[in-house]
Chains A and B, each alone.
Chain A
């Protein structure tokens, strides 16, 4: 274990676990979590797991890389890493992100403005290994020495004389999963260097060249999405069964039967939800159905495989998987003859289909894609349905999904909705494009294995928890029920686990839900409260 200040060289030379996290060094949380006793312990990996898998970074594990059995195997993997790196750095093989990657590798002035913008670095008590530039510098050093073959004097002067060996590669793989790709660092950089992009490209290298990726986002994620229809494993029949259940459930709740339109040719909108909503937060797609029905929106859902799950995990780690899913989404929209695709409350799906896929969708596949939020804004603000804000008379704060605000600039519509229908809405600070990630970004929310969830709730989501607590300090007593509005499935998953980890409902009365739930809760025609509070 490294006792002194960590340097890049340690990545390839230190034996065993590189750094040990100390909870007493973590960023302090506000009341009632301002004591050491209020911090849930971080679980350690068992000796059996440590022996079997590469986990020599910080004692946590996001990817399960089986330790190579021989030197030859290690060398083979290191060489593959170099092959992949060469591809990343060539226009022909990396046409998607070649230019921004080159710019970010070339121009970092090492001013460290980005460090204080990174919630993981700050929350960890400024642990060097999580500094946004640490990972980038490691990659830059490898590029300088092994690809550009700079002389040893240059490498010494830049402090970049590192050794590329298996230890370095294995630690880099894990380190590529200690950043949520929130890109707050890129936003604050005076010259636009994007450490989030460098992390993304590293993940890509590992997935596309070495077949190394967390199983939750690859094998059980995008692969399952393409094969079965959804990353949840939901097959077509299960989707049909689910919708049938939801229609019954809606009728029971609001006293009126609403049909959820499926595969309606020529509808104006193809609405795609993150399929996790159907399973874990069915009140969300149901709320969309109620609102769209009341407002007379001409839309359809798709029952085609992939068409009923908006997720596109490839966005986080693999351009090929990203393209496969995006093309399928567009093809389904084209076959249905809709005018546009509208993405439900899912941040990364917003970015994947609306922004990143734009260069992949050519010709008549380039169907307009939109966020659901401005459509909802139009319905609420222009009073297309009857709403009574008094029905949302409890404190509410809003979490901004990074992909909606920072990446796409969708900032005001969700606020105009809440200002109209939630009289006790208050902002968390900072918010909008300056927001902090929920801690579950880039796949972390759906990686529940071993002790990784502890790292997420303890470190990567720590800043979000602080923000939520700060926003409610004046009403922190658990007898006052309050809501975090999080219009994104991944963010909801991370916030759900975060609140459970800190037992926050019991201690502070804080619960969470999406955005559409507030709208239906305020609907005059819906007599019973729509928002459900935890039962315990």
Chain B
């Protein structure tokens, strides 16, 4: 674990860059996390996806299933990969401030 500056504050991240204190997440943190994922510009679609993931996580404690994510955000998986090159789990969820996915996913 290491402390890094994200969105103007010190946040602990794991070795793969996932934040460890989900409560510290805000939009500015997300913008900086996106940069670590090679996403320079968070557009409207990016936010829609990230906010959806965030809300689901706050309700259920995990990331939404990819199928549900695509359906509810009206996105194809391909489009998610275009927006977040590492994909929904390693890219979009990281930007949404979720911890690294666990289990056989």
Contacts and interface: CB of A to CB of B under 8 A. Distances in A.
Interface stretch (B32-40, B42-50, B75-83): B75-83
Contacts of B60: 234-235, 237-238, 241
B69 to A, nearest CB: 10
Main DSSP-derived SS at the A contact region: helix
Contacts of A220: 100, 102-103
Interface string A231-263: 111110110011001000100000000000000
Interface string B81-105: 1000000001000000000111111
Interface stretch (A71-79, A174-182, A360-368, A444-452): A444-452
Contact of A535 (B59, B62, B78): B78
Interface residues of A, number: 43
A490 B77 CA distance: 21
Contact of B105 (A225, A235, A493): A493
Contact of B15 (A234, A238, A446, A449): A449
B81 A233 contact: no
B76 A448 contact: no
Contacts of B100: 220, 448-449
A87 to B, nearest CB: 29
B103 A446 contact: yes
B38 to A, nearest CB: 16
B81 A346 contact: no
A225 B102 CA distance: 10
B78 A232 contact: no
A245 B77 contact: no
Nearest to B77: A535
Contacts of B68: 242, 245
Contacts of B76: 535
Interface stretch (A97-105, A107-115, A118-126, A277-285): A277-285
A49 interface: yes
A514 interface: no
24 contacts: A49-B15, A216-B102, A220-B103, A221-B103, A231-B102, A232-B62, A232-B101, A232-B102, A232-B104, A233-B102, A234-B103, A237-B60, A245-B67, A275-B103, A277-B104, A279-B62, A279-B63, A283-B67, A446-B103, A446-B105, A490-B104, A493-B104, A535-B76, A535-B78
The 9 residue pairs across chains A and B that have the minimum distance between CB atoms: A276-B104, A232-B103, A231-B103, A238-B60, A220-B102, A535-B78, A280-B105, A489-B104, A233-B62
Given A221-B103, A245-B68, 18 more contacts: A221-B102, A224-B103, A230-B103, A231-B102, A232-B104, A232-B105, A233-B62, A233-B102, A235-B60, A242-B65, A245-B67, A279-B65, A280-B66, A448-B90, A449-B14, A493-B105, A536-B78, A536-B81
